[in-house]
Amino acid sequence: MTPPAGPLLGRRQAALGLLASALTLTSCGQPEEEILPYVNKPEGLTPGVSMRFATSLPMSGYGRGVLATTYEGRPVKLEGNPRHPASQGATDVFTEAAIFSLYDPDRSRSVRREGRVDTWEGFEAALLPRLAAAEADGGAGLRLLTGRQTSPTLLRLIADLRGRFPAMRWHVHEPVGEEAARAGAQLAFGTPLTVLPRLERARVILALDADPLGPGPEQIRHGRAFAAIRSARRDNAGGLARLYAVEPGFSTTGAKADHRLALAPAGLRDFALALAARLGADLPAPTLPAPMAPFLDAVVQDLQGARGAALVLAGPWAPPEMQALVHWINDRLEAPVDHLPPPPEQPEDLAALGAALRGGGVDTLVILDANPAYDAPADLDFAGALRGTGAFTVHSGPWRNETGALCRWHLPQHHPLEDWADLRATDGTASIAQPLIRPLYATRSAAWLLGLLRGELSLTAHAAVRETWAARWAAESFEANWRRALHDGVVPDSAARPLPPPAARPPALPPAPDEGPTLLLRPDPTVWDGRHANNPWLQECPKPLTRQVWGNAALMAPGEAERHGLRKGDVVQLHAGGRVLEAAVLPLPGMAAGVVMLSLGYGRQRAGAIGNDLGANAYRLRRQDALWEVSRLQLSPAGRREEVLQLQAAHQLEGEARELLPERPFSDFLRHPLEPAPKVPPTSLFKPLEPDAPVAWGMVIDSTLCIGCNACVVACQAENNVPVVGPGEVAKGRDMHWLRIDTYWHGSEARPRPGFQPVPCMHCEAAPCEPVCPVAASVHDAEGLNVQVYNRCIGTRFCQGNCPYKVRRFNFHGYADGQEYANQGEPIVAAHYNPDVTVRSRGVMEKCTYCVQRISAARRQAEKEDRPVAEGEVRTACQSACPAQAIQFGDLRKETAAVSRLRHEPQHYALLGHLGTRPRTTYLAQVRNPNPALEEPEA
């Protein structure tokens, strides 16, 4: 044994050495971090106090302005931007839920090559030589595929790209496209004009299978216009506009219509032809059967009587000839319609790209945020083409979806809330989108990729957007304009100028649809074309009318289902065009006979942990020649059942129950006021509460205006940290929404009139939940709020048992507290929480608070400034989201407040007012404006 070479360490030295090495070992796993307070506080930033920034979000390519609330650089809530014409201060479900998609754990975080993690440098090294080689033939083999593009910057970059690759070809694929509308405008006017109906200037509207109030880029604008022409008020001298709907399916527009006729596509065509003929078109008018003829008479009379303010609408799914016919009718009626110039370039479609992929004409394909492998028509088999091609395929998008998985390279892209961009609204208004958070992952923007294609290695989206606008604004005023545009969220005077109304050509005969069963394909009200499928807020958001969640279903009239021996939940095989699709059946009263309706966007395979394998993939029956109506449909029972999850089954109101959601005709709503909310409290043994606060909060909801869009539901979820429970818990009847839109059906089963009733907490003055709580967790505050003290609650649930409105929600599991659904427990998900609202633990009851955190913020501000809280200063999340302004909130003590005035309207009533609960949330009954000539005999 050899002696040790160096000097022996003393015991103390050895111990110190060990300690030191232990310290090094433990610390080497963590990068060195410094946590320092700000030395210089960023201007305007107070930790804990939110800041709001204007930006824009795309909806199918069109921009909608939003104001984002951020806490220390973390966006938590989106609201509408009042200055933006496509938002007008309101939102829809997609805008509200966008905040969650930012923090979606399934977002793509890394570059992938053939499915394996790779680097950005690796991608550049692979792409650049190909581009250099492609320059030789002008980029003839280079293809670009995008969704609908309105961004001036991206359009400019694509145009610039043509400078390097003149032979490059650009394709656009948008599953909910407007090809038919453009083609219809082309037929009618000779150019593919953009036609914008102006509902706010209409007095009589006929929706021919159109759904202006339904989901889409224009829902908010139309919702606001609808509210403007349908407000039944004591002092409304102009009266109510009248809305007719003729449709094969059932849309929210149909639900809000004064008169609705359910017609299969063939009947719809006959109706439109007859209408055109009555207005003087040189078309063969079919003779209409019994229910249609008087309906047409009434419609024609009304439309002609309102010349200049009469409007006929066709949906984007109507065939071009039908669109042209409607343009001609509107022309005859001098309808309130704006005609905007068409987009400068019509890119090629997806079919051409598919053919080129198969033909081998594609060398390099770059797909920017599109998902054709999932949402292309089935007869294209785009996924097959993508799989079989030898081309260099690149997919860039925030999610590695079906297309990303099939492309050779996948590039993670910024979320719109992390990126600089610019967007145009449907009316052409431009807005600049600014990032609200530093990118969460190593993602890059679409502008960078287009720059790379052009040969610029490090183009930032910021620079690209500034360059675009620098070209349009004078250099000396650029900075001022830029700041103004960022601050306001809109570029001033950027809206397209309407053209002088062009004369519509005489219409041609629309093709006759096939008789027999037809499948209608429609965008989904919560997941749209499938791109939002991985958003749990949207999956758990009940669809209007059916209130279905976590899936889609084949909707058909109850009689139709019975004829095929199908009941709710039976799986039916839909055969069409040689393809078969299995979908669960959900009977929906009011659908036309011989029609089955299925929404797009379900059955995804690579959406993520939330959206995979839900519902039926309607794209599998979609064909290029049958994008929206698949005829010659055959139905056969599949012999198995699937659960159709609904938060509420369709409920027909009969007898006394009608007073839950009363209906009144406009003609006599003034003469017969509903029972006013009792002014004098009913006798009680208890001394009535004498609140001493100067404020008494209250809410009035106008069910006439509610279009059932659910924006309020998702807004409430976002604002109040309402957890998602997942389909399993929904099946057990345990959804957590603080606000729900009850849907009741009036009228007969053949002619149903559904009505929407948003139900938040009523904040009863004599709240039944309060006396039954043994631990005083449910208490009243001085301003009249019925508040729930979470950390006092022990979960007896007596409050909910005794609540006549059943608005309380119980945490049966730790939905936000350790027992989250699917991937909802991932750390990143917690980033979406509003820090002003408690995240509730398991075993406690929760409910609507009237957004007490907003009240509190306003009160603090007012106290600082030594003034009372002003009218309109507190806006609840639901109120601020509502496109139709159906929800008003304010101080009942102020006679001038909107809520106080609404409480004096003749159709004002308290839901279940006879129970003596004296709710602070009250309602305005549904006022309809039926045509006396079409009055149905009511039992």
Q: Which parts of this chain interact with other proteins (CB under 8 A)?
A: 648-649, 651, 653, 655-657, 660, 729, 732-735, 740, 742-744, 757, 759, 768, 771-776, 792-798, 800-802, 804-806, 809-814, 819, 842-845, 911-912, 915, 917
Q: Pick the closer one to other proteins by CB: 369 or 846.
A: 846
Tell me how far, at minimum, the Cβ of 681 lies from other proteins, in Å.
16
Count the neighbouring beta carbons within 10 Å of the beta carbon of residue 515.
Answer: 12
CB of 44 closer than 8 Å to CB of 57: no
Would you call 829 helix, strand, or coil by DSSP?
helix
Burial of 387 (0-12, 13-18, 19+ CB in 10 A): middle
Cα separation of 855 and 837, whole Å? 12
Tell me how far, at minimum, the Cβ of 551 lies from other proteins, in Å.
19
Torsion of Cα atoms, 381 then 387 then 392 then 398, to 10°: 80
Tell me how far, at minimum, the Cβ of 755 lies from other proteins, in Å.
11
Tell me how far, at minimum, the Cβ of 843 lies from other proteins, in Å.
3
- CB-side neighbour CA atoms (13 Å) of 675: 10
Contacts of 540 (CB under 8 A, 6+ apart): 549, 550, 724, 725, 726, 730, 735, 737
Tell me how far, at minimum, the Cβ of 648 lies from other proteins, in Å.
5
Q: Pick the closer one to other proteins by CB: 807 or 878.
A: 807
How are strands ordered across the β-sheet holding 409-412?
116-118, 111-113, 409-412, 392-397, 364-368, 142-146, 169-172
Tokens representing residue 86 in the block:
């496509």
Tokens representing residue 738 in the block:
């603080």
Tell me how far, at minimum, the Cβ of 817 lies from other proteins, in Å.
9
Tell me how far, at minimum, the Cβ of 842 lies from other proteins, in Å.
5
Tell me how far, at minimum, the Cβ of 96 lies from other proteins, in Å.
22
Q: Pick the closer one to other proteins by CB: 811 or 926.
A: 811
Tell me how far, at minimum, the Cβ of 749 lies from other proteins, in Å.
16
Q: Pick the closer one to other proteins by CB: 55 or 917.
A: 917
Would you call 304 helix, strand, or coil by DSSP?
helix
Among residues 589, 846, 889, the alpha carbon closest in space to that of 743 is found at: 589
Amino acid at 7: P
Tell me how far, at minimum, the Cβ of 844 lies from other proteins, in Å.
6
CB of 324 closer than 8 Å to CB of 512: no
Alpha helices per DSSP H over 824-893: 852-864, 877-881
Q: Pick the closer one to other proteins by CB: 902 or 911.
A: 911
Strand 786-788 versus strand 778-780 pairing type = antiparallel
Torsion of Cα atoms, 527 then 529 then 530 then 532, to 10°: -50
Residue owning tokens 């310290």: 23
Would you call 201 helix, strand, or coil by DSSP?
helix
DSSP letter (8 states) at residue 724:
P
CB of 646 closer than 8 Å to CB of 547: yes
Stated as kind and residue range, the H or E segment containing 338 is: strand 337-340
Would you call 879 helix, strand, or coil by DSSP?
helix
Count the neighbouring beta carbons within 10 Å of the beta carbon of residue 812.
Answer: 17
Q: Pick the closer one to other proteins by CB: 440 or 772.
A: 772
Cα separation of 923 and 696, whole Å? 17
Alpha helices per DSSP H over 606-754: 711-719, 726-731
CB of 311 closer than 8 Å to CB of 275: no
Tell me how far, at minimum, the Cβ of 365 lies from other proteins, in Å.
48
Letter string b/e over residues 285-313, b meaning 16 or more CB atoms within 10 A of that residue's CB:
eeebeeebeebbebbbebbeebeebbbbb
Tokens representing residue 151 in the block:
């961004």
Among residues 650, 647, 649, 645, the alpha carbon closest in space to that of 551 is found at: 645
Sign (positive or negative) of CA dihedral 453, 454, 460, 466? negative
Strand 570-576 versus strand 634-641 pairing type = antiparallel
Cα separation of 615 and 612, whole Å? 9
Tell me how far, at minimum, the Cβ of 717 lies from other proteins, in Å.
15
Tokens representing residue 470 in the block:
């620098």
Tokens representing residue 784 in the block:
């009249």
Q: Pick the closer one to other proteins by CB: 699 or 793.
A: 793
Would you call 446 helix, strand, or coil by DSSP?
helix
